A and B are shown apart, each in its own frame.
Chain A
Amino acid sequence: MSTDAILSFEEAMEKYDPVLGFEVHVELNTKTKMFSSAPNVFGDEPNTNVNEVDLGMPGVLPVVNKTAVESSIKIGLALNCKIAESCRFARKNYFYPDTPKNFQTSQYDEPIAYDGYLDIELSDGTVFRVEIERAHMEEDAGKLTHMGGATGRIQGADYSLVDYNRSGVPLVEIVTKPIEGAGSRAPELAKAYVAAVREIVKNLGVSDAKMERGNVRCDANVSLRPHGRERFGIRSETKNVNSLRAVEHAVRYEIQRHAAVLDSGEPVIQETRHWHEDTRTTTSGRAKSDADDYRYFPEPDLVPVLASREWVEELRATLPEPPAARRKRLQADWGYSDLEFRDVVNAGVMDSIEETITAGASASVARKWWMGEIVGRAKTADVDPSELGVTPETIVELNKLVEGGKINNKMASQVLDGVLAGEGTPAEIVGKRGLAVVSDDGPLLEAIDAALAAQPDVAEKIRGGKLQAIGAIVGGVMKATRGQADAGRVKQLILERLGVEG
């Protein structure tokens, strides 16, 4: 396999202006398929979730899944689209064993949703509007596994095996208008856009939205033009880029590859590219050709779908708060800075913090725990923080113990270990592990006197008003009490001992 020449991303950006376009396929999580009553379930034994409609047998009739239409309308509304009063299905004709019918039932000239937009927030807070051309209903194809050959790819395969369980699974394909003006942020925007679509369909509850299962799949179109030129360059379409990271990498790579092609004076070939996660490169699929002449025509076996305004408004009334609006509201409610909030979102603990606050913790306490002790432990255990097993109630109880002076922060961390080890509630663990703070002043004063005697120069400094020196004495006391002292109380007692106003 030959390796394509590429320019550095910086050089490519200096010379060219990228234009992007995305087709995102979303598998709906309806119970049944788009046009048949066979179950829509992932991971079952091959060819067991099929009936005569999915296998394209002669004389069968498709019937539209009402829930799938409603889900499609919801997606359209969430993408700020207009919903067509009337739309219809069309046949997209092609020969390939992933469809037993030799056509895919899709929508062509009359999509159910059109003319929308999505405001995408980039990592530094810049908001970039992506215009949505259309969102249309269609069905997924069967799954091919290429056997034989060295690579498992189609080149060199001896034969292919087909599982039609996925055939007929309801899909909504979301197509953007050409995205101009992203400049060097194009790769970041690409990732953020797909992430936003995924978040929206998940929030709507219309898709499981698991990219690793192919519930959300992205085809990324990239073209370059010299700065200042209006006319678009020739594009490539990188297929099936199926993780958020891969979307970013694929767009970046294609920009670099196109730039090298244009620099050499050759035209870019309009073609399909295949993304390879292992090498983070694309290779040529096939050139756009006759095979893309799909001879669409209206599906004679299905009647039009009319979306009355009443129906659309009923569905609109069921939409949950959009994820971006929810984030804005929560940040304002909690009083987090932009940076604090972004860290919370990126750490994936926003929902957990919300639940913890609902359970009775303050916003700052909830953040302290989730972003500190819990995120750290989750990283070590290599799980999502929310999957670690810490309940909002645990945090509220831990915090009460700390604020009540029963335990200090260091002990709280040990108590949390105990909770995760299944030793009981925080209060029980404090008892079992003997972790209560030493609050009897007697032993504390003994330790303080010892610490002051050991560091007379420090004691002198504190007497002279240099209060910041107190840390050395507090440290000595904590060491002597094995961390079982309340640092605040220790500080107070040291000042009293030395006769200094705190």
Chain B
Amino acid sequence: MTVAVIQFGGSNCDRDTVRALDALGIDAELVWHEDGLPEATEGIVLPGGFSYGDYLRAGAMAARSPIMEEVREAVAAGTPLLGICNGAQVGCEASLTPGVFTINRSARFQCEHVFLRVENADTPWTEQYEEGEVVEFPIAHGEGRFEIEDDRLDRLEAEDRVLFRYCDEDGNVTDEANPNGSKHNIAGIAGEDDHVAVMMPHPERVSLSDIGTTDGQGVLQAFR
């Protein structure tokens, strides 16, 4: 599988993502957004960063760039897509997933490790984990608070499309363990179909054993 990691102006986790995928034996390449999706694309990552300086709203500009039409078509044809951090903001702004990631409750940029509880282990992104398992991922965002209308939140939860929630070390989903004020502690969700997912925490930053833990590998293995 060739995974296209799309670089927008201001993306900055693109190379990390390619390296993390390479380390898992998954073929990945950087794709500059103006060059369009390569023919051989079998997976897509919208990486982290600060595309277009977070102008207007984080992800708003990249979500409306021409390559996103190709991304939409590829996703509709079944190509798996993962949006990480700024890529998650782009995914929501592009309506690939519902809701929006907006300014943290603290009004501050937060860069820290958090615990996540795996809510649904029956998706390509989470099948390497057990339901209820607690994993540790880093976050690094100023706009990571998940907001969504109540009726759409009900539907998202009823359809079991919440992948990860912020929790404490023991897996308790509490307000104290919610780093950014996200509705119902939501850290990552799937789209209408579970081959699309977005998440604010960074799996690619916990995928290389040389630099720490490898809890994030399970998410990236969806591209195998």
> Are the chains A and B members of one assembly?
no
B-contacting residues of A (Cβ < 8 Å)? none
A-contacting residues of B (Cβ < 8 Å)? none
